[in-house]
């Protein structure tokens, strides 16, 4: 279990309109054999191989539905956090933003649409993207406080979160170091304060290391691509977005609580999500997202019982 209390430094950055109370965050499904503090790592090239061995004992190789929700409509708020984003990295901010802006019109986004839920929602039916936040204050790998601060400052985000349709991917400026994952997605709740009233909203979020010169999270450059770090980040971004859409947290209670939530979308009998099963497996041709080519890993398709790049 992990609980994050807010820091005074962050609170001071929040505008008067709407502060936030202490967010709650805990591992939402302790049966999934994920490491305790986060959900759904995107393992490095070396670590992915051992994690995929779990597939061998699976009764079916396909993804299974676990009675929760998928993300039909989603609002995405990218955050680039840390002094490392101060100047010189605008092409990465623009490149990641461009990927999100153009994702839903690319063939790549069609693959997740086979994974519907009990409400009939189709993953990624509508994707709204907010302008990226670049915050050059000192970053932390505990990003959920920063996520809640961003939510409290934007009524579009508050509205999306109140409909359980908000995803906040956070790109920090710190290197992976010895960590054996490139990124992850998880979820929590933010308490939004207005006067003496606290409204709790559910927020899905993602975490990404900087991946500069990172051989363990390395992706081949596609024709027209010039920035290796951007290429690495876009591939991990695509992995986490596919997983977020098909296996977000399901918050059952009203108001939402992390103590009454679970990951109930699509994953296989070993706990692997759509991206995990095909991590670091690339097709021979790049994906075109909004006019830019990227080598993106494949995602699991139940339709062909294998890895694919579109439906
Ligand atoms: Zn994953």
Average confidence score pLDDT of the chain: 85
Residue 228 tokens read as 């290796």
pLDDT at 55 over 80: no
Does 1 reside within a domain?
A: no
List residues bridging with 197 in a β-sheet. Answer: 194
Q: What is the pLDDT of residues 233-246, one digit of tens each?
A: 999 999 999 999 99
Give 48 or 250, the one with higher predicted confidence.
Answer: 250
Q: Tell me how far the alpha carbon of residue 206 lies from the centroid of ligand 1, in angstroms.
A: 11
Q: Tell me how far the alpha carbon of residue 19 lies from the centroid of ligand 1, in angstroms.
A: 32
DSSP string computed for 181-231: EEEEEEEEEEEEEETTEEEEEEEEEEEE---TT-GGG--PPPTT---HHHH
Angle, helices 90-103/228-246, rounded to nearest 10 degrees: 30
Task: Identify the pLDDT of residue 42.
Answer: 74
Task: Identify the pLDDT of residue 296.
Answer: 95
Task: Identify the pLDDT of residue 249.
Answer: 92
Domain extent, residue 19, equals 8-308
The CB-side HSE value for 155 (13 A sphere, CA atoms) comes to: 2
Task: Identify the pLDDT of residue 24.
Answer: 60
Residues 283 and 95: their CA atoms lie apart, in Å, by: 21
Q: Tell me how far the alpha carbon of residue 183 lies from the centroid of ligand 1, in angstroms.
A: 8
Cα-flanking dihedrals φ and ψ of residue 193, to 5°? Answer: -105, 125
Q: Tell me how far the alpha carbon of residue 83 lies from the centroid of ligand 1, in angstroms.
A: 27
Q: What is the pLDDT of residues 249-302, one digit of tens each?
A: 999 889 998 888 888 999 998 889 999 999 999 988 999 999 999 999 999 999
The neighbour count for residue 141, using CB atoms within 10 Å, is 12
Does 3 reside within a domain?
A: no
Task: Identify the pLDDT of residue 91.
Answer: 93
Task: Identify the pLDDT of residue 311.
Answer: 76
Task: Identify the pLDDT of residue 13.
Answer: 31
Q: Number of structural domains, the chain?
A: 1
Q: Tell me how far the alpha carbon of residue 97 lies from the centroid of ligand 1, in angstroms.
A: 20
Look-up: residue for tokens 């490149």?
A: 95
Residue 87 tokens read as 């100047």
Q: Tell me how far the alpha carbon of residue 222 lies from the centroid of ligand 1, in angstroms.
A: 22
Q: Tell me how far the alpha carbon of residue 210 lies from the centroid of ligand 1, in angstroms.
A: 17
pLDDT band at 20 (very low <50, low <70, confident <90, very high): low
Task: Identify the pLDDT of residue 60.
Answer: 79
Q: Tell me how far the alpha carbon of residue 181 lies from the centroid of ligand 1, in angstroms.
A: 9
Q: Cβ distance 147 to 170 under 8 Å? A: yes
**pLDDT > 90 fraction of the chain, expressed in percent and rounded:** 66
Q: What is the DSSP letter of 259?
A: G
pLDDT at 11 over 60: no
Q: What is the pLDDT of residues 63-102, one digit of tens each?
A: 999 999 999 999 999 999 999 999 879 999 999 999 999 9
Look-up: residue for tokens 């920035």?
A: 227
Q: Tell me how far the alpha carbon of residue 279 lies from the centroid of ligand 1, in angstroms.
A: 8
The neighbour count for residue 226, using CB atoms within 10 Å, is 8
Q: Tell me how far the alpha carbon of residue 256 lies from the centroid of ligand 1, in angstroms.
A: 24
Task: Identify the pLDDT of residue 29.
Answer: 39
pLDDT at 16 over 50: no
Instruction: Give which of 274, 271, 272, 276 is closest to 32, Cα–Cα.
Output: 271
Length of the chain: 311
pLDDT band at 195 (very low <50, low <70, confident <90, very high): confident
For the question of whether the overall pTM of this predicted structure is more than 0.85, the answer is yes
Residues 242 and 106: their CA atoms lie apart, in Å, by: 13
Give 175 or 3, the one with higher predicted confidence.
Answer: 175
- Provide mean pLDDT across the span 99-107: 97
Does 49 reside within a domain?
A: yes
Does 2 reside within a domain?
A: no
Q: Tell me how far the alpha carbon of residue 178 lies from the centroid of ligand 1, in angstroms.
A: 18
Q: Tell me how far the alpha carbon of residue 202 lies from the centroid of ligand 1, in angstroms.
A: 21
Q: Tell me how far the alpha carbon of residue 40 lies from the centroid of ligand 1, in angstroms.
A: 5
Mean pLDDT lowest for which of 16-20, 64-68, 211-215? 16-20
Q: Tell me how far the alpha carbon of residue 298 lies from the centroid of ligand 1, in angstroms.
A: 12
Q: Tell me how far the alpha carbon of residue 239 lies from the centroid of ligand 1, in angstroms.
A: 6
Q: Tell me how far the alpha carbon of residue 244 lies from the centroid of ligand 1, in angstroms.
A: 9
DSSP string computed for 26-86: --S-TTS---TT-S-EEE-HHHHHHHHGGGGG-S-SS-EE-SS---SEEEE--EEESGGGS
- Provide mean pLDDT across the span 155-170: 96
pLDDT at 1 over 50: no
Q: Tell me how far the alpha carbon of residue 161 lies from the centroid of ligand 1, in angstroms.
A: 23
Task: Identify the pLDDT of residue 40.
Answer: 60
């Amino acid at each position: 279990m992990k609980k994050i209390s807010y820091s005074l430094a962050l609170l001071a950055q929040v505008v008067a309109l709407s502060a936030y109370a202490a967010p709650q965050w805990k591992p939402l499904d302790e049966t999934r054999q994920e490491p305790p503090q986060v959900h759904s790592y995107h393992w490095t090239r070396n670590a992915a191989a051992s994690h995929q061995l779990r597939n061998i004992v699976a009764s079916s190789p396909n993804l299974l539905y676990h009675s929760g929700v998928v993300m039909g409509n989603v609002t995405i708020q990218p955050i680039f956090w840390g002094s490392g984003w101060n100047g010189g990295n605008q092409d990465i901010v623009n490149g990641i933003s461009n990927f999100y802006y153009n994702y839903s019109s690319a063939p790549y986004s069609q693959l997740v649409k086979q994974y519907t839920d009990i409400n009939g929602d189709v993953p990624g039916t509508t994707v709204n993207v907010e302008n990226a936040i670049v915050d050059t204050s000192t970053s932390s790998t505990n990003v959920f406080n920063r996520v809640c601060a961003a939510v409290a400052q934007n009524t579009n985000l508050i509205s999306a979160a109140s409909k359980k349709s908000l995803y906040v991917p956070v790109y920090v400026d710190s290197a992976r170091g010895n960590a054996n994952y490139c990124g992850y997605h998880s979820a929590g709740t933010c308490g939004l304060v207005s006067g003496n009233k606290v409204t709790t909203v559910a927020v899905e979020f993602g975490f990404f290391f900087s991946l500069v010169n990172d051989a363990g999270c390395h992706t081949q450059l596609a024709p027209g691509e010039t920035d290796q770090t951007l290429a690495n980040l876009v591939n991990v971004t695509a992995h986490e977005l596919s997983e977020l859409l098909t296996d977000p947290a399901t918050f059952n209670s009203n108001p939402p609580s992390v103590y009454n939530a679970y990951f109930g979308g699509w994953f296989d009998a070993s706990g692997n999500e759509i991206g995990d099963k095909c991590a670091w497996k690339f097709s021979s041709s790049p994906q075109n997202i909004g006019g830019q080519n990227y080598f993106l890993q494949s995602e699991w398709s139940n339709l062909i019982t294998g890895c694919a790049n579109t439906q």
